[in-house]
């Protein structure tokens, strides 16, 4: 017996829509800071652990250097990051936050928090949603996708 699910019944479609909507919402919040969503993700990594080798940033975000390099170069041009050759490995580059990026941490985080609160997003049981999405992503990691 053939099983056909309508588009609205596909889990992949709902995850895709949610991802797209998150990206749009964050893009609107980040626009006054002249940041894109991928640039914000780089900042999140570096606000947690500054002075990382580019490949470590890529590993945490699931991006290769080819994807990450233009994002980081643009952020260097914006005065948010610096890039120095690693003394341990001449092929590796250490990416660090500038004072500008460090000082933006509070205002950017507050703008995002305010947006989430104004949408009542935290009432959507974000903890359960996060747990389920982490489980889904762990499953995909085990499948080596």
Tens-digit pLDDT profile for residues 43-84: 999 999 999 999 999 999 999 989 999 999 999 999 999 999
Tokens 């479609």 map to which residue? 13
pTM of the model: 0.84
Burial annotation 92-121 (CB, 10 A radius, 16+ → b, else e): ebbbebeeebeebeeebeebeeeeeeeeee
pLDDT of residue 123: 65
Q: Strand, coil or helix: what is 84?
A: strand
pLDDT of residue 121: 65
First to last CA, the chain: 29
Q: Strand, coil or helix: what is 3?
A: coil
Pick from 51, 36, 28: nearest CA to 102: 51
Phi, psi of 95 (to 5 degrees): -105, 130
- What domains can be seen in the chain, in order of their start residue? 34-121 (1.10.10.10)
pLDDT of residue 73: 97
Structure tokens at 102: 């460090």
pLDDT of residue 119: 75
Say how far apart CA 45 and CA 56 lie, in whole Å: 10
């Amino acid at each position: 017996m053939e099983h056909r699910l309508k588009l609205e019944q596909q889990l992949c479609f709902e995850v895709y829509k949610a991802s797209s909507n998150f990206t749009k919402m964050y893009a609107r919040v980040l626009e006054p800071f002249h940041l894109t969503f991928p640039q914000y993700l780089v900042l999140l990594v570096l606000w947690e652990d500054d002075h990382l080798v580019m490949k470590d940033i890529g590993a945490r975000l699931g991006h290769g250097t080819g994807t990450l390099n233009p994002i980081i170069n643009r952020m260097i041009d914006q005065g948010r990051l610096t890039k120095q050759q690693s003394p341990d490995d001449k092929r590796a580059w250490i990416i660090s936050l500038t004072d500008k990026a460090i000082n933006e941490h509070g205002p950017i985080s507050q703008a995002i928090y305010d947006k989430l609160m104004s949408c009542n997003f935290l009432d959507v049981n974000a903890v359960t949603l996060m747990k389920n999405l982490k489980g889904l992503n762990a499953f995909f990691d085990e499948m080596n996708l």
